[in-house]
Amino acid sequence: MEFWMKRDHPNSDFCCVPKCAMSGKFNSAISFHHFPKDETLRKIWIRNVRRDNLVIKRTTTVCSRHFISTDVIQGGRQPLKEGAIPVLFAWNDYSLPASRPIHATIVKCKIYIFC
C-alpha cells in the first residue's frame, strides 16, 4: 500500500533547473518564480536553465537560488526585480565569476553569458 505518497498538492512548486531539486514543500525560505512573459527575457531564462526539451507550463518555475540576491525581493509584492535572470547554477557553483564577468556581453537589462 503506497497511497500515503499520493501527490495532491497542485500548488506545490518545484524548480525546473537540472540538478536542483528544490521544492516548495521542503524549504519555505526559497521562493519560486515563473518564467517571464516577455519573449526575449524568457528565451534568456530558458537558455540559462540549460534543460533539454523544457516545456514551460503554468507550474514551471525557477527557484530563488538561481538569482543573485539583489534581484530577489524578499516579501515584496513583486518577488523579482524587473529584468532579473537566473544566473547561479550547480555548474557554476552558485556563484558569479568574481567582480567582472568573463566574456560577458551586457546589453539592455543585464545579460551574462558564461563561456
Q: Which residues are near Zn ion by CB under 5 A? A: 15, 17, 20, 22, 63, 65
| Contact present, 86 and 94 (Cβ < 8 Å) | no
- Number of Cβ within 10 Å of residue 66's Cβ equals 24
**Separation of alpha carbons 19 and 105, rounded Å:** 26
**Least gap, CB of 51 to Zn ion (angstroms):** 11
**Separation of alpha carbons 75 and 55, rounded Å:** 28
Nearer to Zn ion, 11 or 105 (CB): 11
Nearer to Zn ion, 33 or 112 (CB): 33
DSSP 104-115: ----SS------
Nearer to Zn ion, 65 or 87 (CB): 65
Q: Kindly state the cell numbers that stand for 45.
A: 531564462
**Least gap, CB of 61 to Zn ion (angstroms):** 8
What residue is closest to Zn ion based on CB?
Answer: 15
**Least gap, CB of 99 to Zn ion (angstroms):** 25
Say which amino acid occupies 50: R
**Least gap, CB of 21 to Zn ion (angstroms):** 8
Nearer to Zn ion, 9 or 102 (CB): 9
